[in-house]
Chain A
Amino acid sequence: MKLPVYLGLLHKAEGTLAQSFRQVAEGHGHEPDVHFLCQALADQCQEHQQALQPIIDRYGEVDHDDEPERLQADGLQNTRSGPVGLLRDLQDLYLLASLVDITWTMIKQAAQGLRDKELLSIVNDCDGQTSTQLKWLQTRMKQAAPQALIAAK
């Protein structure tokens, strides 16, 4: 069964996203909404990791798989500055959150196949929050894009 591989992927992806949210929160302290919300969303990601723990305890977690890693999603090591920099950083977060989101979806498929009620209820809670994270990132980027791309110095 390869579910442990995906549990590992998800656990890692949530951790990467959490760390990246924190990075953006710190790097964009002059945008108070970004600063505070990214902190709150980083906490959410870590809560997701904790919520997964009992499942991982049951099924195990595999860090490395025999499938080769093709796409690297190591998270943000640094933040950019300025209006376009903010937009790019949010966009990177969006990509990382999308990865988390689709991984939850795959795990939900498996949970349904396994008729694992505990896992299903965790997926429902967490994935709902992840999709709100995506919506917020999109809302914030849409707000920032015209000014950043047209008017910013």
Chain B
Amino acid sequence: MVDRIAQIWGTRTPFGRGERWPVRVDQVLAQGVAESDVQRWVQSACVLCSNGCGIDIGVRDGIMVGVRGRAGDIVNHGRLGPKGLFASWQGVQNKDRLTRPLVRENGELVETDWDTAMERIVSRSRSLLDTKGPLSHGFYTSGQLFLEEYYAQAIVGKAGIGTPHMDGNTRLCTATAAAAMKESFGSDGQPGSYVDIDECDAMFLFGHNMAETQTVLWSRVLDRIDGPDRPRIVCVDPRETEVARHAEVHLAVRPGTNLALMHGLVRELFVNGWIDQDYIHRHTMNVDELRSTVEPWTPEAVADTCGVEAEDVRRAAEIFGTSERVLSTVLQGFYQSSQATAASCAVNNLHLLRGMIGKAGCGILQMNGQPTAQNNRECGADGDLSGFRNWENPDHVQELAELWNVDPAIIPHWAPPTHAMQIFRYVEQGSIEFLWISATNPAVSMPQLPRIRDILASDSLFLVVQDLYLTETAQFADVVLPAAAWGEKTGTFTNVNRTVHLSEKAVEPPGEARSDLHTFLDYSARMGFQQLDGSPLLDWNQPEDAFNAWKECTRGRPCDYTGLTYDKLRGGSGVPWPCNENHPDGTVRLYHDGVFPTDPEYCETYGHDLLTGATVGPEAYKAMNPAGRAIFKTAPYHPAHETPDEEFPLRYTTGRTVYHFHTRTKTGRSPQLNDAAPDAWVEMSVNDAETYGVTEGNIVRVESRRGHITAPVRVSDIRDGTIFAPFHYGYWDQSGTPDTRHRAANELTITEWDPVSKQPVLKNAAVRVTKIAEGTGPSPAPTTTASRPATRGKARRHLLPTAGGPAAQATESIAPVTAPTVATKEEQP
């Protein structure tokens, strides 16, 4: 047994380059339940992060009693991380679950039946459509529904109502991943694969604290690091993360300066001739523009702007430029910071310059945060057109109209889809009067919370919230719909490296809770949405009907699902798309032939100017004639818009801890995880703590132009001048009134977004800090991860290491079977 709170990544199973990652099956059962008590193991995959670990749910007497990793799954080879082990099942089996719909009566939410709740929604929706039209409606969805649910929602929004105001919290999480791939390659679609970890010689993690965001993926890296020919690691992160500790070069940049660093790295490749001229010539365009944009960014200039050593920039570039196989991963440190799309495209540029894409160990992983974010992007519940289609291409709109048998004019394609921040702005201005939020909690997760709360409370707004729990957001709703959770419904979803998993229903949902699919179908039927021939717009009964319809939507598109069925996904491993006649067992990597989906007839976008977000447009794009070549996209560096000044002298950045997911609706209800990270904290460096006369555990007030929070201090190894706060902690488990809301990191963040991806800038603001009390002991920050106490500095209080004790024991069975392979031609020629 292993304490998996203390040992986050579990026992090491080292392996060498090109070998298979050994299997290790991790399992946890409820207290008092023996393995022989489990009556059924039901196949699924974990939804607590984007990694997509194959998981079996143990069921006894209609209740989930534990989980184990699926040994044969190509994603995790049996492993699970702390969130999968402790929160996946305990996070949904909880007395707080919503079991009946709620409606607002005289200002209070009261229980009601489904008919009453749905009729309220439909009558408001119908009357607004009749009087104000489709632009009065907005949908804000999630990165945690199933594929089938997004596709239903996309069709309801685009072909039933006809509103461009659809987005998901994927805007906060993966919008830049999608945007960067669209700009560089012409379409969304992850080039790399997790097996590239097994094959690479060097790994670059750009703003990606993989050790805490995708723990099982990091286990794979740790096993390579412990193996015979360890990969060289480079980490770009302002914090001393677990990744940084294993890195040969750690570039602790000032928040907001990523693009300057990237220009410096790209420039070094040019200057030292670490580029593949032949590949550039045959498979890319715009290299001269890239060369001239990066020209001023000498290592010294980078050092000056980013606050790193020039020598470290050279060393990092040398590792990139001279390693045989390089894998890069990118996440929120880039996506939620200034010039997000330009900085993320720069990672693609590094790989294109060396022709290191689509080959073993030479991958790019533009990561996602959430388990099903990929499906939202594919299906278009985030506003994109379904199946990676291009809203500026009339033929693509026509294809969808034919598929759905509706008039193409109803499908919104006259302007870019409305991004989340703009949807909230329209609500603020009163022009969106009907907002339907499913499976997300903007009252804690969006920037500048005092403003978001005002918007959600607007008198002019009719707010529908569909969730498992009465979240901070649900408390503002006019109608609350109880949703069935993971394990209580069947559907599919797709992880970061395109691997599609089936998640089967294991138990009944509590009370009257229903699957989101059921709810969307019910809404569509009650609204009377129709096809051209008068038949119902959505005539599906089962999730598999939706899946089959989706397959048709993907036929011939980059995300081709036509070779998949529920049956094919049962029993074995998840399968990476495209999966079709040519690739019956899926596809490990994209673009091995150097042909990119940039053809004007095929591409998902005609692209944007990365500095302003101006669209390139069809004429200019066609004139460029990309013809299957990748495009070097770049922009000049601009300093962040809010930088420290006399009044607010420190940089503020936000992020996660390994023990929680999002706003803790699930992880906060898992005792093991909650005990490990029970409350908020803020991090300060040793030097800053000294300057401000603060020691571990003192209570400080952190204030920006938008609000303030109070929290105990963890003196950590974060870079000087930077304050960090975890974004998980809201108010559902805190008593108090609205004016005592000073815990959520987003009270302080700025309302601003990247011009191309429209992803909010959650990782860069200016703040000031004041000590307000001594505190009663050390801060509750975990000691096991980036929030660990500073290793330098003097006279620290003694801190108990974070551990889980008897409740956090999991079994690990090492190498019970041989490791799975991705069953494709590429791996098994």
Contact = CB atoms under 8 A, between A and B. Distances in A.
A33 B755 contact: yes
9 nearest A-B residue pairs (beta carbon): A135-B614, A136-B614, A151-B135, A136-B612, A151-B431, A32-B752, A152-B431, A139-B615, A139-B614
Given A32-B753, A36-B641, A147 B614 contact: no
Interface string A78-98: 000011000000000000000
A118 interface: no
A138 interface: yes
Interface in B131-165: 132-133, 135-136, 164
A132 B612 contact: yes
B795 interface: no
Contact of A136 (B414, B431, B432, B609): B609
A115 interface: no
Given A135-B617, A139-B615, A32 B751 contact: yes
Contact of B755 (A37, A82, A133, A142): A37
Interface of B is mostly: loop
A83 B431 contact: yes
Max chain B Cβ within 10 angstroms of own Cβ: one of A33, A40, A133, A138: A33
B136 A151 contact: yes
Nearest to A143: B415
A129 to B, nearest CB: 9
17 contacts: A30-B425, A33-B753, A37-B612, A37-B755, A82-B429, A135-B612, A135-B615, A136-B614, A139-B416, A139-B615, A143-B418, A143-B422, A146-B135, A147-B418, A151-B132, A152-B431, A153-B429
Contact of B638 (A31, A40, A138, A150): A40
A146 to B, nearest CB: 6
A145 interface: yes
A147 B425 CA distance: 11
Contacts of B617: 135
B430 interface: yes
B426 interface: yes
Interface string A114-153: 0000000000000000001101101100110111001111
Nearest to A148: B431
Nearest to B421: A32
Interface of B: 132-133, 135-136, 164, 414-416, 418, 421-422, 425-426, 429-432, 609, 611-617, 638, 641, 750-753, 755
Nearest to A41: B612
B415 A153 contact: no
Interface of A: 30-33, 36-37, 40-41, 82-83, 132-133, 135-136, 138-139, 142-143, 145-147, 150-153
A138 B614 contact: yes
Given A37-B612, A146-B164, 16 more contacts: A36-B752, A40-B611, A40-B612, A82-B429, A132-B612, A133-B612, A135-B617, A139-B612, A139-B614, A142-B416, A143-B418, A147-B418, A151-B426, A151-B431, A152-B430, A153-B430
Contacts of B429: 82-83, 152-153
Contacts of B431: 83, 147, 151-153
Contact of B425 (A31, A36, A145): A31
A35 B509 CA distance: 47
B416 A143 contact: yes
A86 to B, nearest CB: 10
Contacts of B430: 152-153
Contact of A147 (B135, B613, B615, B638): B135
Contacts of B616: 135
A77 B431 CA distance: 28
A36 B641 CA distance: 7
A36 B418 CA distance: 19
Contacts of B609: 132, 135-136
Nearest to A129: B611
B705 to A, nearest CB: 12
Nearest to B758: A33
B768 to A, nearest CB: 22
B172 to A, nearest CB: 15
Contacts of B613: 33, 37, 136, 139
B69 to A, nearest CB: 43
A133 B612 CA distance: 8
Contacts of A82: 429
A41 B614 CA distance: 13
Given A31-B425, A32-B751, A152-B431, A132 B614 contact: yes
B502 to A, nearest CB: 38
Nearest to A142: B415
Nearest to B760: A32
A65 B759 CA distance: 49
Given A135-B614, A146-B414, A151 B641 contact: no
A37 B133 CA distance: 31
Nearest to A144: B415
Contacts of A132: 609, 611-612, 614
Nearest to B447: A32
Max chain A Cβ within 10 angstroms of own Cβ: one of B416, B421, B614: B614
Contact of A150 (B133, B416, B611): B133
B131 to A, nearest CB: 11
A33 B429 CA distance: 16
B330 to A, nearest CB: 23
B635 to A, nearest CB: 10
Contacts of A37: 612-613, 755
Contacts of B136: 151
Nearest to B412: A146
A137 to B, nearest CB: 8
A152 B615 CA distance: 24
Nearest to B754: A33
A130 B336 CA distance: 28
Contacts of A143: 415-416, 418, 422
A41 B613 CA distance: 13
Contacts of B422: 143
B464 to A, nearest CB: 19
A136 B611 CA distance: 10
A135 to B, nearest CB: 4
Contacts of A145: 415
A47 to B, nearest CB: 11
Nearest to A152: B431
Nearest to A138: B614
Contacts of B418: 143, 147
A37 B430 CA distance: 25
Contacts of A142: 414-416
A132 to B, nearest CB: 5
Max chain A Cβ within 10 angstroms of own Cβ: one of B416, B421, B429, B617: B429
B208 to A, nearest CB: 26
Nearest to B426: A147
A147 B414 CA distance: 12
Contacts of B415: 142-143, 145-146
A12 B179 CA distance: 38
Contacts of B614: 132, 135-136, 138-139
Contacts of A40: 611-612, 638
A140 to B, nearest CB: 8
Contacts of B135: 146-147, 150-151
Nearest to B617: A135
A123 to B, nearest CB: 16
Contacts of B751: 32
A153 B136 CA distance: 11
Nearest to A133: B612
A25 B612 CA distance: 14
A133 to B, nearest CB: 7
A83 B751 CA distance: 18
